[in-house]
Chain A
């Protein structure tokens, strides 16, 4: 089996093509979340730490939307999600230990 056939086979396996509708829906959700986060910041009470947490939470939801739908991660082989989780967990650990250093000095 020459490589051209091999690749067409692969593409046929990976049947899922995201629809325009799905992309539009993701976009709408992202716009909504953005407006929400601006709103919270502009009119939210002086919650300081809570505002950071809320802002980061909303940002993460947006990021997940981009990753899972626009980047097709939801439909890719599971290993990609596993890898992404490991990468993010690693970053979080770095952040955690460094901030711990500063907060306990």
Chain B
């Protein structure tokens, strides 16, 4: 028998504001997840300031800077994609979203080369050069790999999320009147950017 009475405040209606609120709440959990790592970093840096400084010289500031610029640009492109869709320009929105993914790939490629060079120098926990480092430096590199690794994982997830949204934009499921998924993927992407905004100076710009 058909269900006749529907509450005005039914939980079964998809609701843009709820969707946005849910995404923001999820972002708070991500902030605290990374927060734990930042806390560990701050403590160990306070205790080993010189070691952290010396260790940071291993990092390539140019690559780090380029990566920062890449991510900041990708934040702009996804934000513009939302503007485009809000104005009804689906094609532009899709193009800008693709550019964001391209930036994500560029970021990961650069990261790949950075990590690669560290491996070549035996700097990963467990490798010979690493084991011979002073204690503070070993903490630095452990944190470097853990934090940039976890961040890279989020870059991948964010990229996939945007990819899925591109698909939905093409099928029309995400459109001018139902924009939440694009907005939420943008919010997630900005979080990825935000974390890097702090990672960059903490690891690359110690002096």
A/B touching: CB–CB < 8 A: yes
- Measured CB to CB, the residues of A under 8 A from B are 1, 3, 6-8, 10-11, 17-20, 23-24, 26-27, 30-31, 34, 37-38, 40-42, 44, 46, 48, 51-52, 55-56, 58-59, 62-63, 66-67, 69-72, 76, 80, 83-84, 87-88, 90-91, 94-95, 98-99, 102-103
Q: With a CB–CB cut-off of 8 A, which chain B residues contact A95?
A: 38-39, 42
Please count how many residues in chain B sit with their CB below 8 Å of the partner chain's CB atoms: 53
Task: Give min CB distance, A68 to chain B, whole Å.
Answer: 11
C-alpha gap A3/B17 in the complex (Å)? 12
- Measured CB to CB, the residues of B under 8 A from A are 8, 10, 13-17, 20, 24, 28, 31-32, 35, 38-39, 42-43, 46-47, 49, 61, 65, 68-69, 72-73, 75-76, 78-80, 82-83, 86-87, 177-179, 183, 186-187, 190, 193-194, 197-198, 200-202, 204-207
Q: With a CB–CB cut-off of 8 A, which chain B residues contact A19?
A: 83
**Given A17-B83, A17-B87, A38-B65, A10:B17 Cβ within 8 A:** yes
A87:B28 contact, CB within 8 angstroms: yes
Partner of B177, one of A11, A40, A71, A99: A11
**Given A59-B201, A80-B24, A8:B193 Cβ within 8 A:** no
Task: Classify the interface of chain A: helix, strand, loop or mixed.
Answer: helix
28 A-B contacts, Cβ less than 8 Å apart?
A: A3-B13, A6-B13, A7-B16, A10-B16, A18-B82, A23-B80, A27-B73, A27-B76, A34-B72, A40-B205, A41-B201, A41-B207, A44-B207, A55-B202, A55-B205, A58-B201, A59-B198, A66-B190, A67-B190, A67-B194, A70-B79, A71-B187, A76-B20, A80-B24, A95-B42, A98-B39, A98-B43, A103-B46
